[in-house]
A and B are shown apart, each in its own frame.
Chain A
Amino acid sequence: AQKVTQAQTEISVVEKEDVTLDCVYETRDTTYYLFWYKQPPSGELVFLIRRNSFDEQNEISGRYSWNFQKSTSSFNFTITASQVVDSAVYFCALSEARTGGFKTIFGAGTRLFVKA
Chain B
Amino acid sequence: GAVVSQHPSWVICKSGTSVKIECRSLDFQATTMFWYRQFPKQSLMLMATSNEGSKATYEQGVEKDKFLINHASLTLSTLTVTSAHPEDSSFYICSARVKGGSYNEQFFGPGTRLTVL
Contact = CB atoms under 8 A, between A and B. Distances in A.
Interface of A: 33, 37, 42-45, 47, 50, 52, 91, 95, 97, 100-109, 111
Interface residues of B, number: 25
Nearest to B59: A103
Given A43-B111, A103-B34, A109-B43, 20 more contacts: A42-B110, A43-B38, A43-B91, A43-B113, A44-B111, A45-B93, A47-B108, A91-B43, A95-B106, A97-B103, A101-B51, A102-B97, A102-B103, A104-B34, A104-B106, A105-B46, A106-B45, A108-B43, A109-B42, A111-B41
B75 interface: no
A38 to B, nearest CB: 12
Nearest to A95: B104
Interface of B is mostly: strand
Nearest to B56: A101
B111 A108 contact: no
B72 interface: no
Interface in B34-65: 34, 36, 38, 41-46, 49, 51, 57
